Chains A and B, each alone.
Chain A
Amino acid sequence: MTTIPIDEPRIEQHSNYLTNGYSVKSWLLTTDHKRIALLYLITITLFFFLGGAFAVLIRLDLMTPAGDLMRDETYNKMFTMHGIIMVFFFLIPAVPAVLGNFLIPLMIGARDLAFPRINLLSWYVFVIGGLFTLASVASGGVDTGWTFYTPYSSTYANTHVVLAALGVFITGFSSILTGLNFIVTVHTMRAPGMTWFRLPLFVWANYATSLIMILGTPVLAVTIVLVAIERIFGVGIFDPKLGGDPLLFQHLFWFYSHPAVYIMILPSMGVISELVTCFSRKRIFGYGFVAVSSLLIAVYGFLVWGHHMFVSGQSVYAGMIFSFLSFFVAIPSAIKVFNWTATLYKGSISYQTPMLYVFGFIGLFAIGGLTGLFLATLAVDVHVHDTYFIVAHFHYIMVGGVVMGYLGGIHFWWPKITGRMYPEGWAKLAALIIFVGFNLTFFPQFLLGYLGMPRRYHVYPEEFQILNVMSSAGASILGVGYLLPLVYLFWSLRWGPAAGPNPWAAAGLEWQTSSPPPTENFEKIPIVTQEAYAYSEGSGFPVSPEADYKEGGSPVVHS
């Protein structure tokens, strides 16, 4: 065995998961969770930029009050396809399917997920679902909005609703398979000594997410089937003319789709918990509260869906109950934000790129979350419902929250995934550009919405033009911010300096193996004796015996 000096990290010469086969077949038939994570990374990145292209067209069209760029029908298709692709094919799989797949076995000291072949199947199912949706895009698109509201989607829309909905339906099974795999893995494959309350918070967050995936996604699948049955066979389910109830669709849809917001945000919250401790050199404040708050968010998330239906004709009494319950979701979310902030207190903070994304996440999520409380208030919601206030609110959560966490996580674990460091200066610049671009894009939309501009309209009164131009200008800055990481992360694959096993001196188990990790993750299954955030003086590494890792060729780096 060779001992690698600390000051000269280099790519591990021994076999790792990237060098374990170079053929296309070795990738397409892999059951290695790390390779499957990369397959997901490539797939969702393609979808992200496709969904982004639709956003560019939307913002270009909104530069002028007359909607000069495209016809009304085309505009309807643009925001629909932007929403469908971003929600179902990027935001929902982003953190769990990429970072979760790669990291959960490493973080709990396992060699793979519980069902490696089901894991590969989930990717194929995802791709097949994506192809159906792409087919609907290529054949003329769909114009129902990503929410597929009935009776428009089931009776009146003349676009490819069934094809797009089928894509979403199929992709849902990918989500269920991933959730199932994570739950069984966390229950059955933890390394010796990895007790539940030593689990990294990223694992807790993904576990809670998996519960939502398996409990909620089947309802979406059933709902889509019912829309297809009504549309194809004319069976009255949602259409009042046929004896159906259009609000039934909204109940079924939001029973899944509101918790789906937590499928998106919870894993990103898990990422933030890992990053904030590492770059504050402190253990997380209130570990138990942060862990349990993930489960509470997962459960509460199922009790609030009716706040999407306050002005739909839903009973006022149901509206009052849903309004009341919606305020409760703020409690576990606030527990997380306050505990991250308390973790920073008296921490030894360093401003590396992942930490910049942490600050971005906390600030933007706070704005997104607090405006959510405005919307949970019945009377305020009547004023701002279906306006740009809503658009701004959920983009602060989904982009300001989820994407910030995702990018922070990608940067943090990039050295582990590839064995290479990204260029820190460029990465900091990109993080800054994204933060500025994001706020310039979406803050004016709060004002637009409050002033009364409805969402999903591209022709608007002239007095709204200045704010719309500001928003479009912000979107162009945001676009540059998103393209930069694509360029420099690719660059780092060839020219990035070797990272070594633990460039951040992080305490998590995934940093105790080489970078990139070997196919079997650990040369010897670790025995865990400490929690994942042992950043106190003289704590050493959270595994024992330490000598095993030195023998394995991994240098021990301490701050």
Chain B
Amino acid sequence: MTAHDEHSISTRTYFLVFTALLVLTGVTVVAAFFNFGHLNDIIALVIAGTKATLVILFFMHVWHASGLTRVFVLSGFAWLALLMAFTFADLFTRWQVEAAG
């Protein structure tokens, strides 16, 4: 990353992102007091995912990074998706083995 890129995120943006992270933390706490049933986990994950995305894009400068850096960042998520996809593919089809047995 060049010096120009490093300076392209303003202090104001950092404070805005920081504020957004605090607000989302507050939302997490508030959400914990309500029972949304099956949506509990999904809501918690969406909030956490949003916070992580903000950190990666702005605090870790990926918003202004080169295409190559973005590819490497995305590949990390792609590999995580791969791990989860095949693991759940096993988990969700195990019952059929029991039925056959």
Please list the residues of chain A having a beta carbon within 8 angstroms of any beta carbon in chain B. 187, 215-216, 219, 245, 247-248, 251-252, 255, 302-303, 305-306, 313-318, 321-322
Contact = CB atoms under 8 A, between A and B. Distances in A.
B93 A317 contact: yes
Contact of B86 (A245, A248, A313, A318): A318
Interface stretch (B43-51, B54-62, B76-84): B76-84
A318 B68 contact: no
A306 B86 contact: yes
Interface in B82-101: 82-83, 86-87, 89-94, 96-97, 100
Interface residues of B, number: 17
A321 B89 contact: yes
Contacts of B94: 313-315
B96 A317 contact: yes
Please report whether the interface of chain B is mostly helix, strand, loop or mixed according to DSSP.
Answer: helix
B76 A314 contact: no
30 contacts: A187-B68, A215-B75, A215-B76, A215-B79, A219-B83, A245-B91, A247-B90, A251-B86, A252-B87, A255-B83, A302-B79, A302-B82, A303-B82, A305-B86, A306-B86, A313-B94, A314-B90, A315-B89, A315-B90, A315-B93, A315-B94, A315-B97, A316-B93, A316-B97, A316-B100, A317-B96, A318-B86, A318-B89, A321-B86, A321-B89
Nearest to B76: A215
Interface of B: 68, 75-76, 79, 82-83, 86-87, 89-94, 96-97, 100
A316 to B, nearest CB: 5
Contacts of A245: 91
A314 B93 CA distance: 9
Nearest to B79: A215
Closest 6 CB pairs of A and B: A318-B90, A315-B93, A317-B93, A251-B87, A315-B94, A215-B79
B82 A315 contact: no
B32 to A, nearest CB: 20
Contacts of A305: 86
A145 to B, nearest CB: 22
A23 to B, nearest CB: 37
B90 A306 contact: yes
